[in-house]
Amino acid sequence: MAEAESAPHPPPTFLEVKCKSSGKTRRFAIGTDAGFALSLINRRLETDKPLALHIEAFKEGEEPIAFGPNSALVDYGHGWKLQTVMELDFDYAGVPKGEGFRPVTTRVSTVTSTGGSRPAKRVSKPEISFLYIGRIIIAFILIFVLGAIFTLALENLPRLILYIKSAM
């Protein structure tokens, strides 16, 4: 029994990402797309909290490692933590605040979904109506009419040149 207690624990099969806006920690499977994790984190935020822009791995005294939307979340080892980066942490150029640049307010589009506490934004598709189809048919007719006019003009161009020469 003492042997079982002293055996090392297997590494966890999940990663923890701390949301700086809410202060909550969310767990994700190793290899989860950063974009998917970010959308889940933003979906669960209250409406008055700023949204997260991306996820980064950070360690005191080290340069942070940013995860793109299609990057797989990974654990970089002892001392490295995963956290979200908020729009309040960066100015318009993506440079951390406090490095000699004036902060600028930016707009971040919200992540929409069909579930969760925020209602999904519905993008209405344009309906195909008889007026729409009629306009397309008229455009085709105008294209063919212009083509016929130019064809007739080019076919009769030699006669026009001869007529102008004989008139002079």
Digit-coded pLDDT (tens) for 65-111:
888 888 888 888 888 888 888 865 555 445 555 454 444 444 445 55
Domain-located, residue 97: no
Instruction: Please give the full DSSP string across 21-68, using - where no structure is assigned.
Output: TT--EEEEETT-BHHHHHHHHHHTS-TTSPPEEEEEEE-TTS--EEEP
Same-domain check for residues 84 and 138: no
Digit-coded pLDDT (tens) for 10-56:
666 788 888 887 888 888 888 888 888 888 888 888 777 788 888 89
Exposure string for 25-63, b = 16+ CB within 10 A, e = fewer: ebebeeebbbbebbbbbbbebeeeeebbbbbbbbeeeee
Digit-coded pLDDT (tens) for 135-149:
999 999 999 999 999
Q: How is residue 136 annotated by DSSP?
A: H
pLDDT, position 53 = 84
pLDDT, position 117 = 54
Same-domain check for residues 30 and 82: yes
Domain-located, residue 106: no
Query: What residue numbers bound the domain in which 26 lies?
Result: 2-89
Structure confidence at residue 165 as a pLDDT band (50, 70, 90): very high
| 116-125 LR contacts (CB < 8 Å, sep 24+) | 116/43, 116/44, 117/43, 117/44, 117/46, 118/43, 118/47
Domain-located, residue 121: no
pLDDT tops 80 at residue 163 = yes
pLDDT tops 70 at residue 116 = no
Domain-located, residue 82: yes
Same-domain check for residues 12 and 78: yes
Q: Which residues pair with 67 in a beta bridge?
A: 55
Domain-located, residue 110: no
